[in-house]
Structure 1
Amino acid sequence: MKLGKSLLLGSAAAFAVTVGAQAADLPVRKAAPVDYVRVCDWTGAGFFYIPGTDTCLQISGLIRVEGAFINNSRQFYPTATIGQATRLVAAGSIIPGRNEDTSGFFARGRLAADARTQTAYGTLRTYVRYQIDRLQGVYQGGGSAGGANTFANQGGNLAYLDKGFIQFAGITAGRVQSFFDFYADNYNYEGIANSDLSNNVFAYTYTGAGGFSATFAVEDHNQRNDGIGSVTGGTFGVASAAQYGGETIPDLVGQIRFDQAWGAAQLSAAYHQINTVAGAFAGTNGQGFASKDDDGFAVQGGIQLKLPMLAAGDDLWIQGAYQNGAYLYQDSVGYANAGFQSRFLGGFQHIDHDAIAIGVPGSTTGAYTLAKSEGFSVMAAINHYFTPNFHDVLFASYEQSSYGRAKNIDWTLGGLGDMSEYRIGNQFLWDPVKNLEFGVEVFYAHIDQTLAHNPGQAATALPVGISKNPDGFEARLRVERDF
């Protein structure tokens, strides 16, 4: 028995030694190396290589929170067709100031991704920025009966593609800041008279030496439509209100720009087709439509001067624009009484358009002519750092608009008089730590306008308590964190 146990234990030991020896001869499989995230050294701060690729990526975003107060006064909407979304109760209605929200809150979240790859043709860039807004009170149109609010996926609860484009070998395709724009409300919270619109575009940019670049862009036409007004009664009434027809020719935009150590300068020009239709009207051969086309255009020049001799980060912006039949290139807010998110000013509402349709007296075909908008705007803004953590921005704008023959038709029939407006504001900005800013903005605006009237007659009187030359005051508090 003892002999059997000894043979069994000896055989097991020999087998274990043999297996161990064979295992020692097998190759050892090493763990796969970790592909660590690497910082891109050719794109600037914040970019890293996507593991396993030669593409650099930057993730960024912000949270912005605002509160605003506006001293709303009585507002009156004329009986002319408005032609754009202004949250009207009804044409010709008076809205008492007490029925308007005077305060409100606004929250915005942004997430952006910027991907760049080096190629034989230069950098291939793809950029997307998604934005979510929550607007309440004065930010949601002012509240035509007070208490304007928003709920999930309604009204001012907005989620949308703010920017999204591809750039390659000088080509830009997608949603970007319009190539016409320059200052584009760079500092101010409330809108001043200047062009500031994102648009869907196809563009090509030539980049030369010394900071010179030239761009030609084809931009979406509808983004710049500011509506068509119509004379709705009297001798020059249009049989059926005119409006923009379907988009046919996109806006054509050209830009020449210089970027230097001292700042930047830019010249811009744009063509905007005014293609209108009115109908149906009772023509000699039954129901039909009338139409009228015209050409609008705009030009703009601007300069930015850096002022390091005053303090690091200081700069001055000056810009001017002229338009004929293309109002939103003069002032992208849309009409003189309006702010970015509210009606802002009370009194008589000067609802601007690209043109006013004026009927041909006695026409049996619904024929009409177009009195185009003509106007200009100028603006200036200066930013000064008193300390690295505290700076102040002073800004102002002035604009005028007129509509030719339309001022010789009473406003109750759809005529529109001349307008001039100035806006001035100041910001106090504190940056306690990097990428966190607290800002307070105070803002004042005033309109002077004439009431359109028939030749040789006094203009129809405005309702009691409605100002022809309204003004308004606004204050905003903003907190913003960028990352």
Structure 2
Amino acid sequence: MNIKSLLIGSAAAIVAVSGARAADAVVVAEPEPMEYVRVCDVYGAGFYYIPGTETCLRVGGYLRYDIGVGMWGHQDVVDRKDFAEDGVLDYNDTYYKLMRAQVQLDARGETEFGTLRGYMALNFNNETDVTGGVLNQVFTDSFFAFDHAWIELGGFRVGYSDSMFEWLTDSAGAVIQDSIVAYSPGKSHQISYTFTAGNGFAATIGFEEGNNGRGGIYTLDSYVPHVVAGASFTQGWGKVAAVVGYDSVWEEWAGKVRVDVNATENITLFAMAGYKSGADDDDFGGLDAPNFYGVWGGDWAVWAGGTARFNEKTALNVQLSYDEDETFGAVVGLDYNIVPLFVIRPEISYASVQDPVTGEREDDWGGYLRFQRSF
């Protein structure tokens, strides 16, 4: 064998070995099976299965921009320029503004004990506020807050939300400014159980913590909770609901009864009445005794109103309210859906309030405008 033949043979062997190794290096792995997101239509529109689970999730929320004037704006704020120039306190009225982004997460799944649900609504707010006092000035403030957060299994619920004294009677009317005569103590930690029958009847009993509102005197000061119980009956013609709440701190109670009627295909009406203990209490100088659930003035209060839908885009909302302390409120508002999921809501309000100490009556007007894009 000569040198030339030896070199050619060696080169061929190297090429063969290199080719074998290259072939080994480019082996392509089989692709993993892909799991596509599946729609979950058991609980309504917008739910989908979380991949790899049998839990259905809905992500929603809204963007909201509010403008308030008059009684819903900022009144008697210092005119900064005048005060800077001559030191004299002159006052103006100005706008109230709120920008809110709410994110809602709703997770549901079926278990041997019924539907397991977790729900939360988170608010990210920027609004105008006032400093108060003689040098009353407007400033902007950003803050985060839980609107709702609770866990539910079957009829058992635990978490933080609007007081049961509110949601067991479906708040008040459909207007934005529905609490000129107050009907709700606000939000609270709560534990409840709801029994639901198949004939439209439901009953709830629960316990609440109270909150820091109205001077911070309604949160629990012992292991005895506030107690709430309510029942409702719903049919095609409408609904009847009643609720009673017991304030364990001040040992007072309050109750409400509400009736909703579907008057026509496009008109719904409601009326609600409340009564509480402790009004005109001698232990408190003839004023109302503290009562977490009795938030209106005097023994009793009434609310009434309705909604008239003109077409798919436009609805008119009206609400009137009055209590024994002669507080009167009237609100008229319009809901106009420019396009689906984007609504403009202008409102006009009138309030007449009598001071329980001096007896003086104050009348005030206000306007409110809301833009909301839901998703």
TM-score bucket (shorter structure): 0.7 to 0.9
In the TM superposition, residue 477 of structure 1 has moved relative to its aligned partner by: 1.2
Match of 2:180 in 1: 192
Among residues 135, 143, 147, which one is paired with 1:158 in the alignment? 143
Distance across 2 between alignment mates of 1:39 and 1:124: 18
The residue type equivalent to 1:187 in the other structure is: A
Instruction: Give the partner amino acid of 1:174.
Output: G
* Contact map agreement 2:64 2:101 (CA 8 A) in 1: yes
CA distance in 2, matches of 1:44, 1:354: 50
1:265 aligns with 2:251: no
Is 1:8 equivalent to 2:35 in the alignment? no
Corresponding residue number in structure 1 for 2:201: 212
User: 8 Å contact 2:173–2:306 — kept in the other structure?
Assistant: no
The alignment of Structure 1 onto Structure 2 pairs a total of residues equal to: 347
Q: Cα distance 1:63–1:142, how it changes in 2: closer, same or farther (>3 A)?
A: farther
How far residue 5 of structure 1 moved from its aligned partner, in angstroms, is 3.6
| Correspondence for 2:60 | 60
2:48 maps to 1:48: yes
Q: Helix, strand or coil for the counterpart of 1:30?
A: coil
Q: Deviations over 1:199-253 (max 9, x none)?
A: 2101111111212111101011345x7569xxxxxxxxxxxxxx77962232110
1:473 and 1:68 map into 2 onto residues whose CA distance is 11
Query: Relative to structure 1, is the Cα distance of residues 62 and 444 closer, same or farther in structure 2, using a 3 angstrom cutoff?
Result: same
TM-score (norm: length of structure 2): 0.81
1:356 Cα deviation from its structure 2 partner: 5.1
Q: Contact 1:272–1:297 at 8 Å: present in 2 too? A: yes
Partners of 1:141 and 1:474 in 2: CA distance: 21
C-alpha distance 104-16 of structure 1, shift in aligned 2 (>3 A): closer
Structure 1 Cα separation of the partners of residues 69 and 132 of structure 2: 11
Aligned residue in 1 for 2:371: 479
The answer to whether the 8 A contact 1:100-1:143 is kept is: no
Partner of 2:304 in structure 1?
A: 380
Report sequence identity in percent: 25
Counterpart of 1:39?
39
Q: Letter of the aligned partner of 2:234 in structure 1?
A: D
Deviation at 1:324, TM superposition (A): 1.2
How many angstroms does 1:31 deviate by? Answer: 1.3
Q: Is the contact between residue 442 and residue 474 of structure 1 (CA under 8 Å) also seen in structure 2?
A: yes
CA distance in 2: counterparts of 1:55 and 1:274, whole angstroms = 41
Q: 1:110 corresponds to which residue?
A: 102
- Once the two structures are TM-superposed, the CA of residue 298 in structure 1 deviates from its matched residue by 0.8
Q: Decide whether aligned partners of structure 1 residues 142 and 389 sit closer, same or farther in structure 2, where only a CA change above 3 A counts.
A: farther
| TM-score, normalised via structure 1 length | 0.64
Does the Cα contact within 8 Å between 1:100 and 1:142 map onto a contact in 2? no
Structure 1 residue ranges without an equivalent (≥5): 76-96, 152-156, 229-242, 276-294, 328-352, 360-369, 401-418, 453-466
Q: Residue 324 of structure 1 is aligned with which of 277, 298, 303?
A: 277
Please give the per-residue CA displacement for 1:394-435, whole angstroms capped at 9, x wherever unaligned: 1111111xxxxxxxxxxxxxxxxxx21111011122101111
Q: Does 1:300 align with 2:263?
A: no
Distance in 1, matches of 2:281 and 2:27, equals 80
Amino acid at match of 1:11: A
Q: Kindly indicate whether residue 352 of structure 2 is the aligned counterpart of residue 446 of structure 1.
A: yes
Shift of 1:6: 3.7
Give the alignment partner of residue 391 of structure 1, picking from 304, 310, 315. Answer: 315
| TM-aligned CA deviation for residue 447 of structure 1 | 2.5
Query: 2:361 is paired with a residue of what secondary structure?
Result: coil
Structure 2 unaligned blocks of 5 or more: 76-88, 292-296
Higher RCO by CA contacts (8 Å cutoff, separation 6 or greater): 1
CA offset at residue 132 of structure 1? 2.3
